[in-house]
Amino acid sequence: MKIFRKIRVRLLKENKLTRYLIYGVGEVILVVIGILIALAINNWNIDKTNKIQETKYLVNIKLDLLKDLASLKYNLNFRKVNYLGTKKLISQINGQPINDITELTINIANTLNVERFAPNNSTYNELASSGNLNLISNDSIKILLLELEEQYKRNNFGIDHETFDYREYISKPIFKHTNTAQLFHVLLGEKTTQQLGISKSDFDNLFESSAYKNGLVITNLLTLDFIGIYETIESKSKKIIKLIETELAHRKK
């Protein structure tokens, strides 16, 4: 800067105004170029930092979803088995013959069993709460994550509804009209219905409970909804994992 200042002073002393102005413009251009270079370097550093952070988020999202897939597989199987058992119970309450007391006992015990899917979406929650969702540069991944979050909300709403129905229409009638300890001895394979002396007549009062029958109907409607939600979550999770793997593979090249 001292050199530039000396040149300006010399030009003024020599009364070379035109050269002075040209020189001044050139100096401004040099300063602007310097600023632009500095900004470019700064933006490059920011972009590099963001890419590193985005990669960490993508890796963690993939890990969360892989855990979810294992949980979803279990919950889907649980829901499907319970749906069939409950459907048969409803038919038997409506008059279908009961030929297997052990199966009947297990199906009734299973209506007390509750399994709920709880997603591992801590990474997404961190992204959303910190305002860093825009770090995810792949729009397809971002859109699927948002759609997945909507499915999580549907799941939570269904759980709240099911919790109330379970307490009011399933557990109360069973506790009132059956020996729950015997039910679970059979369910866990600890004792047989023959050893416990369980017969169809032990469930007559339960079958006459309109609350229990209505609870089974509502439960199966909710179960069908949960199965649909879980299958959607499973499908979207697999798509996101595949997109993340492709994205991370490109970055290694």
Q: Report pLDDT for 27.
A: 63
Q: Report pLDDT for 10.
A: 59
Helices 17-93 and 122-130 pack at an angle, to 10 degrees, of 140
Name the nearest CA neighbour of 225 among 162, 182, 183, 139. Answer: 162
Q: Report pLDDT for 20.
A: 44
Q: Report pLDDT for 34.
A: 72
Domain boundaries, the chain: 53-252
**How many angstroms separate the CA atoms of 107 and 109, rounded?**
5
Residues 167, 168, 171, 176: is their CA dihedral positive or negative? Answer: positive
Q: Report pLDDT for 148.
A: 95
Q: Report pLDDT for 73.
A: 94
DSSP 53-101: HHHHHHHHHHHHHHHHHHHHHHHHHHHHHHHHHHHHHHHHHTT-----H
Q: Report pLDDT for 7.
A: 54
Q: What is the pLDDT of residues 234-253, one digit of tens each?
A: 999 999 999 999 999 887 76
Q: Report pLDDT for 35.
A: 77
Q: What are phi and psi of 23, to 5 degrees?
A: -65, -40
**Per-position pLDDT tens, the chain of length 253:** 555 555 555 545 555 555 545 545 556 676 677 777 777 776 666 677 778 889 999 999 999 999 999 999 999 999 999 999 999 999 999 999 999 999 999 999 999 988 889 998 889 888 888 888 888 989 999 999 999 999 999 999 988 888 887 888 899 999 999 999 999 999 999 999 999 999 999 999 999 999 999 999 999 999 999 999 999 999 999 999 999 999 998 877 6
